[in-house]
Amino acid sequence: MKLYRITAMLLNYYYFSINSLDRVFDVLYWPLLDIFIWGFMTYFIQGISEVNILNLILGGLVLWVFIWRASQDLVVYLMESYWSRSTYHLFTTPIKISEFVISLCLLGLIRSVLAFGVMSLLSFGLWRFSIFNFNLLHFALLVAILVLFGWGIGILISSCIFRFGTRIQVLAWSTIWIVQPFSCVFYPLEALPKWAAKIAVILPTTHVFEQLRASMNGLPLDYGSLLYSFVFVIVFLVLAALILVKSIRGAKKAGTFAKPE
């Protein structure tokens, strides 16, 4: 693995971002919109409720951005390579698929941190909510699990795009939102109906947001739950990577890289 090839790809994404305003815009626009809508709503509910709902909602919202951007940006920038017809020349260079995917993962992380920064600043400025009031170690652990899971989902969708092309691009935007209702981002696990709870309890994201709420209420973290989530995301990432390798081999057999989209 060569670091200069990973930085070359990051330079590519940087140029791409500064040349297309919409890619800069979506790091700012959606977090901004989320903070306003959810913030106003929770501010209203806060007035008629005894529960500290502001912390619950904004905490979930600010942390969700990590999995959201980590998974979506990975796929969107991969598709941009297809749309800009650059995959042909790119895959004749010595770049390895692992370097290509790592560059996309790092990009997702950078954009997550940027979006998180915007959301944190806004939520503090508007609602005096600071995610940094919580235990920073807890926070870092939860973020790590979310980012790893986000990468796993992103890699899995990328595998489908490598194999079937951008005609299945709808998955890039929709998959993460299928995971969200089962992840208990804004409500506790008990709030879900039984059938949904059975799905939710498998997902590492549910455990992360449950632990976030526990941490916000001053309770100790359930390390068993976190260990489960961590092992889950690592196994998921390895599986996603294996599927990716298989998909790329399939794409090369089908000649997908050599066909204009």
Partner 1 sequence: MNTLMAKELVKTFPVKGGRMTAVDRVSFNIKKGEIFGLLGVNGAGKSTTINILSGLIIPDSGEVEIFNKNFFKNQEEIKSKFNLATAYYTLSTNLTVRQNLKVYAKLYGVKNAEEKIEALTKKFMVNQLFDIQVRALSSGEKTKVVLVKALLNDPKLLFLDECTVGLDPDMAEVTRELLEEYNRETGCSILFTSHYMQEVERLCDRIAFMDRGRIVKIGQASSLIKELEMQEVKLHFSRDLKQAQRILKREGIEFKQESAQALSFQIKNRKNTIYPLLEKFVKARVVFDDLHLNKPTLEEYFIKRSRRKE
* Residues in contact with partner 1 by the rule CB under 8 A: 2, 4-5, 7-9, 11-12, 15-16, 19-20, 80-81, 84-86, 88-96, 249, 252-255, 257-258, 260
Q: Residue 166 Cβ, how far from partner 1 at the closest point, in Å? A: 15
From the CB of residue 113, how many other CB atoms can be counted at a distance below 10 Å?
Answer: 16
CA nearest to 149, candidates 211, 79, 71, 72: 71
Residue partners of 84: CB distance under 8 A and separation at least 6: 16
Which CB atom, from 65 or from 251, has the smaller least distance to partner 1? Answer: 251
Which CB atom, from 16 or from 134, has the smaller least distance to partner 1? Answer: 16
Q: Residue 134 Cβ, how far from partner 1 at the closest point, in Å? A: 40
Q: Pull the structure tokens for residue 28.
A: 């700012």
Q: Residue 20 Cβ, how far from partner 1 at the closest point, in Å? A: 6
Residue partners of 31: CB distance under 8 A and separation at least 6: 65, 115, 118, 119, 122
Q: Please give the Cα distance from 84 to 118 (Å, whole number).
A: 29
Which CB atom, from 224 or from 255, has the smaller least distance to partner 1? Answer: 255
Which CB atom, from 81 or from 112, has the smaller least distance to partner 1? Answer: 81
Residue partners of 87: CB distance under 8 A and separation at least 6: 81, 257
If 0-12 CB within 10 Å is exposed, 13-18 middle and 19+ buried, where does residue 9 land? buried
Which CB atom, from 12 or from 229, has the smaller least distance to partner 1? Answer: 12
Q: Residue 37 Cβ, how far from partner 1 at the closest point, in Å? A: 31
Q: Residue 233 Cβ, how far from partner 1 at the closest point, in Å? A: 29
